[in-house]
């Protein structure tokens, strides 16, 4: 199974070379990571609102969804503007959805945590890029799928393209010495779980006579594999299936509905599995290696 390389000497070198062992630099790095993540979280908010409605995420300026007034740049600052305006439009005073604030804070916090995790586990610094792209994909996919029951291609395909570009430019993060090795491993890590899940969906649809898994979920898993490796994709599917099944059974029991009629979106559980893998994947791999060693 492919995974990001954990090069201790190189990791310690980039960590100390950036001065992250000093408290002042460390504090600034965390703030910068949070601010950068919050800014990209603001863009993900645009994607969450516009992609399901098939609106452009780049051409139309930011505007209030209630009155249509254009949002000026000083009212569009991540986190800060929401707090200053108390979550309301400056023109019509209608409240914004708390989702805008939650997504920005969540994305910023995850970006800062990724920096800490990558350094503490002594992973290749290139892993930060892949983890951050995966975070943006997971947050956007989870929210859209929870509300609309779809994961748009406009979200999955750019994530795949960014994953492939990163693997070609940073093959060392995938344990390769040449650009084609990183690209090949990233593609294979996405193709294998994606093809397996697609085959499962086709067979399940023929057996059950209805769709058992959306094609957006299949592409989402493929994108996870291209960003987190084959191990990450398999973990996300396993984690998502188990937690999704538990939540589904609990929902059926509370609502007294038959299991056949209880349908819940799979995307949020896959996204949760991907995020758990980002922060616990290295530990889980070490645990599996230890258990395999003792079992052998």
Give 173-193 pLDDT, tens digit per residue: 888 889 999 999 999 999 999
Q: Is the pLDDT of residue 4 over 70?
A: no
Token reading at 251:
């929902």
Residues 115-127 have pLDDT tens digits of 999 988 888 889 9
Count up the domains in the chain and report the number: 1
Position 1 in a domain: no
- For residue 22, the model assigns a pLDDT of 80
What confidence tier does 65 reach under pLDDT thresholds 50, 70, 90?
confident
Q: Is the pLDDT of residue 10 over 70?
A: no
- Within 8 A by CB and 6+ apart from 151, the residues are 141, 144, 145, 214, 216, 217, 219, 220, 267
Closest to 105 measured CA to CA, from 123, 79, 72, 139: 79
Closest to 136 measured CA to CA, from 170, 168, 160: 160
Q: Is the pLDDT of residue 171 over 80?
A: yes
Token reading at 60:
């139309």
Are residues 67 and 94 in contact, defined by beta-carbon separation less than 8 angstroms?
A: yes
Q: 191 by DSSP, 3-state: which? A: helix
- For residue 260, the model assigns a pLDDT of 61
Position 2 in a domain: no
Least confident of 24-33, 54-63, 133-142: 54-63
Strand partners, 70: 63
Q: Is the pLDDT of residue 8 over 60?
A: no
Position 251 in a domain: yes
- For residue 259, the model assigns a pLDDT of 63
Dist CA 140 CA 45 (whole Å): 8
Q: Is the pLDDT of residue 291 over 80?
A: no
Position 218 in a domain: yes
Q: Is the pLDDT of residue 224 over 90?
A: yes
Residues 13-22 have pLDDT tens digits of 777 777 777 8
Q: Name the residue with tokens 């995020």.
A: 275
- Between residues 68 and 133, the one the model is more confident about: 133
Confidence (pTM)? 0.91
Query: Per-residue pLDDT averaged across 50-72, rounded?
Result: 88
Dist CA 73 CA 161 (whole Å): 29
Domain assignment of residue 139, given as a range: 8-295
DSSP designation for 212: S
Q: 4 by DSSP, 3-state: which? A: coil
DSSP string, 14-78: HHHHTTTTSHHHHHHHHHHHHHHHHHHHHHHHHHHHHGGGT--SSSSPPB-TTT-PBPPGGG--T
Residues 243-275 have pLDDT tens digits of 998 998 888 888 777 766 677 899 999 999 999
- For residue 7, the model assigns a pLDDT of 46
Position 201 in a domain: yes
Helices (H), the chain: 8-17, 23-50, 80-84, 99-120, 127-148, 153-169, 179-208, 215-255, 267-295
Q: Is the pLDDT of residue 288 over 90?
A: no
Position 3 in a domain: no
Dist CA 91 CA 47 (whole Å): 23
Task: Show the CA angle centred on residue 134, arms to residues 130 and 136, nearest 5°.
Answer: 120
Mean pLDDT of all residues belonging to the chain: 88
Q: Rounded to a whole number, what is the largest CA-CA distance in the chain? A: 68
Are residues 286 and 122 in contact, defined by beta-carbon separation less than 8 angstroms?
A: no
Give the side-chain half-sphere CA count within 13 A for 218. 16
Which range has the top average pLDDT, 54-63, 213-222, 250-259?
213-222
Dist CA 204 CA 22 (whole Å): 55
Cα Rg of the chain (Å, integer): 21
Query: Per-residue pLDDT averaged across 73-79, rounded?
Result: 91
Least confident of 1-5, 134-138, 284-288: 1-5
């Amino acid at each position: 199974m492919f995974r990001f390389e954990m090069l201790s000497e190189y990791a310690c070198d980039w960590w100390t070379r950036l001065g992250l062992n000093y408290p002042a630099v460390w504090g600034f790095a965390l703030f910068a990571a949070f601010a950068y993540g919050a800014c990209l979280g603001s863009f993900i908010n645009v994607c969450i609102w516009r992609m399901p409605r098939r609106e452009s995420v780049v051409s139309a300026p930011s505007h209030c969804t209630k009155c249509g007034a254009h949002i000026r740049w000083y009212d569009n600052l991540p986190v800060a503007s929401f707090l200053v305006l108390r979550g309301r439009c400056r023109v019509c005073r209608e409240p914004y959805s708390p989702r805008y604030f939650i997504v920005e804070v969540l994305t910023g916090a995850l970006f800062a945590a990724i920096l800490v995790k990558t350094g503490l586990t002594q992973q290749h610094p290139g892993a930060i890029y892949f983890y951050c792209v995966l975070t943006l994909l997971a947050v956007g996919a989870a929210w859209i799928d929870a509300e609309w029951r779809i994961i748009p291609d406009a979200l999955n395909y750019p994530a795949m393209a960014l994953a492939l570009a990163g693997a070609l430019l940073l093959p060392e993060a995938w344990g390769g010495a040449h650009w084609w090795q990183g690209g090949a491993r990233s593609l294979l890590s996405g193709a294998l779980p994606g093809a397996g899940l697609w085959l499962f969906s086709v067979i399940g649809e023929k057996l059950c006579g209805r769709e058992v898994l959306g094609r957006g979920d299949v592409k989402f898993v493929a994108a996870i594999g291209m960003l987190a490796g084959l191990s990450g994709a398999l973990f996300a599917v396993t984690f998502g299936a188990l937690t999704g099944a538990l939540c589904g059974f609990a929902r059926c029991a509370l609502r007294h509905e038959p299991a056949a009629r209880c349908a819940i979106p799979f995307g949020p559980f896959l996204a949760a599995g991907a995020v758990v893998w980002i922060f616990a994947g290295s530990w889980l791999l070490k645990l599996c290696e230890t258990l395999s060693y003792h079992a052998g």
